[in-house]
Amino acid sequence: GAGVSQTPSNKVTEKGKYVELRCDPISGHTALYWYRQSLGQGPEFLIYFQGTGAADDSGLPNDRFFAVRPEGSVSTLKIQRTERGDSAVYLCASRQSIAGRGNEQFFGPGTRLTVL
Amino acid sequence: AQSVTQPDIHITVSEGASLELRCNYSYGATPYLFWYVQSPGQGLQLLLKYFSGDTLVQGIKGFEAEFKRSQSSFNLRKPSVHWSDAAEYFCAVGAHNTDKLIFGTGTRLQVFP
């Protein structure tokens, strides 16, 4: 079966521009996560969706970052007024519905964002 | 605060040698613990996880890890390393209510023939 897919795989933009990153989770997975991985670091949590709602957005660094999941499947991470410090690999993961049992998150290949 | 520490940034071993990657965590309750592997250009792949029960867990690719509550550790081991094991390894703790993962900074494993 298909895994988590993310598009685009690479995105180069200029400082100050707006970008959208897309995540298609595994079919039937109701939980979806976004992480950001900077060079030489482990992934850092950004936001968690359970269904259509953001259940935990405590990892979003500031109000330039926003994510939606309007139909409970595909999610889009939106970054306004990009800064060079936003350059990183953005990872998406999905999980089966029941939280709190250590169920595996399945990760996509990531989108490498470069802000010039 | 929840955190994960991987003290070794880079480890080099010879093929066939044994391996132990260290992981220490800080968490207020019994943690969910994970080891992921990331190869160049690849996504994160789960090697193994500890949720409850037996503190020695077996994973894929011949890896195992042992949860030691007294030492707040979850070290990853493999008795004989293969060249294909060269990759970045991440330890993570999972939050109980949301399952969001808190990762360590990773250990890069290099394998010499």
CB contact under 8 A, B99 and A31: yes
Q: Which residues contact B58 (CB under 8 A, 6 or more apart)?
A: B48, B64
Using a CB-CB cut-off of 8 Å, the residues of chain A touching B32 are: 102
Instruction: Identify which has the larger pLDDT, B43 or B67.
Output: B67
Q: List beta partners, residue B108.
A: B10, B88
- Chain-centroid distance of CA A60 in Å reads 10
Lowest mean pLDDT among A4-8, B7-11, B15-19, B40-44: B40-44
Residue identified by tokens 């400082």 is A15
Q: What is the pLDDT of residue A71?
A: 93
CB contact under 8 A, B101 and A100: no
Q: For the segment A46-71, what is each residue's pLDDT rounded down to a tens digit? A: 999 999 999 999 999 999 999 999 99
CA–CA distance, A56 with A46 (Å, rounded to integer):
8
When the pLDDT of each residue in chain A is averaged and rounded to a whole number, the result is 93
Residue of A nearest to B94 (CA): A102
Is the separation of the CB atoms in A91 and B44 below 8 Å? Answer: yes
Joined together, the tokens standing for residue B85 give 């094991």
Following DSSP, what letter does each residue of chain B receive, concatenated? --EEE---SEEEEETT--EEE--EEE-SSSPEEEEEEE-TT--EEEEEEE-SS-SEEE-GGG-EEEEEGGGTEEEEEESS--GGG-EEEEEEEE-TTT--EEE---EEEEEE-
CB contact under 8 A, B99 and A102: yes
